[in-house]
Chain A
């Protein structure tokens, strides 16, 4: 492979572009493929198959060929509402697990640069913050303030916009109360099943780092579930 292709791959990744790196395993030729475009040379006759592998989020050799396709998709965006202790551990775990983290918290003393260096922080109420964040069905929401004033609007937004994952910190009782509030706000009970509450996989731990581990484990599980 040419180093230029590697540099181009790094550049495209840093620009959050989604693409594939295709390699001919016989002669070592490689090129970068953008969906919807035609690959060049001998790759062109495989454009349909390349596109198919790309859209299935997989890597692999095209059947009956020697063409290898490596797919590059953006990491899952995780919006954490609440710049609390658990969030710090979540950020640490997420660094090595290919999740992009954004912290939302209107309370400036929580969401400070000192507490969260190198993290994108939006120091606003969720409804205002969502105006600045591009979200889609691949976005995840984790609410950690257990203050209805802050958590509930974020949960409402995530439910309406069909987020990939929604989790809310709080006991079973807290979650029951939360669900009643959301029903009052017009959501159907069946819609609320989408919320993981209490959040996380049951590991038994209670410390902030242990709770963060249970949350990040649930996110990884949801990512590969299907």
Chain B
């Protein structure tokens, strides 16, 4: 099911694009264990690092913002990022809830 705030996120994405900003969309596409946000949770990120929405309640947002910005700098259309507890970056990015999560990022054009 869609998140209630997705409307706000999509409308804002449209506004940012109209203001000639590059915008990426991040979506939770898979979860395992106790990840806090459900599949389908979304967040938008602008090229200047502004973001709206959430994909994990704060655990991985910083990394997702970083990944979105670098995606918009390259010519890649999309990318799937897996955040796993077994991943050596787990502590660094702070996935303290013990869940694994896959986030799909794509530029909105």
Contact of B39 with A59 in the complex, beta carbons under 8 Å: yes
Query: In the complex, what residues of B have CB within 8 A of residue A68's CB?
Result: 27, 29, 104
Binds A, one of B2-10, B50-58, B89-97: B2-10
Interface residues of A in 1-49 (CB under 8 A from B): 1-3, 6-7, 9-10, 13, 23, 25-28
Contact of A97 with B11 in the complex, beta carbons under 8 Å: no
B13 to chain A, nearest CB (A): 6
**Which residues of B are in contact with A by a Cβ distance under 8 Å?**
1-2, 4-5, 7, 10-11, 13-14, 17, 25, 27, 29-30, 38-40, 77-78, 80, 104, 106, 108-109
Contact of A1 with B2 in the complex, beta carbons under 8 Å: no
17 contacts between A and B (CB under 8 A): A3-B17, A6-B10, A10-B7, A13-B7, A23-B106, A25-B29, A25-B80, A25-B104, A28-B77, A58-B39, A59-B2, A68-B27, A68-B104, A71-B1, A71-B2, A72-B1, A75-B4
Tell me the nearest residue of chain A to B25, going by C-beta: A1
Contact of A59 with B25 in the complex, beta carbons under 8 Å: no
Interface status of A61 (Cβ within 8 A of chain B): yes
- A61 touches which one: B2, B25, B29 (CB < 8 A)? B29
Query: In the complex, what residues of B have CB within 8 A of residue A28's CB?
Result: 77-78, 106
**Which residues of A are in contact with B by a Cβ distance under 8 Å?**
1-3, 6-7, 9-10, 13, 23, 25-28, 57-61, 68, 70-73, 75, 96-98
The 4 closest A-B pairs by CB, nearest first: A59-B40, A98-B4, A28-B78, A28-B77
Tell me the nearest residue of chain A to B28, going by C-beta: A59
Q: How many A-B residue pairs have CB under 8 A?
A: 68
B11 to chain A, nearest CB (A): 7
Query: In the complex, what residues of A have CB within 8 A of residue B77's CB?
Result: 27-28
Contact of A70 with B2 in the complex, beta carbons under 8 Å: yes
User: How many angstroms from the CA of A63 to the CA of B77 in the assembled complex?
Assistant: 23
User: How many angstroms from the CA of A104 to the CA of B13 in the assembled complex?
Assistant: 36
B33 to chain A, nearest CB (A): 16
Query: In the complex, what residues of A have CB within 8 A of residue B10's CB?
Result: 6, 9-10
User: How many angstroms from the CA of A143 to the CA of B78 in the assembled complex?
Assistant: 49
Given A58-B1, A59-B1, answer yes or no on A6-B13 (Cβ-Cβ < 8 Å): yes
Tell me the nearest residue of chain A to B40, going by C-beta: A59
Query: In the complex, what residues of B have CB within 8 A of residue A23's CB?
Result: 27, 104, 106
- B14 touches which one: A3, A60, A70, A98 (CB < 8 A)? A3
Tell me the nearest residue of chain B to A96, going by C-beta: B4
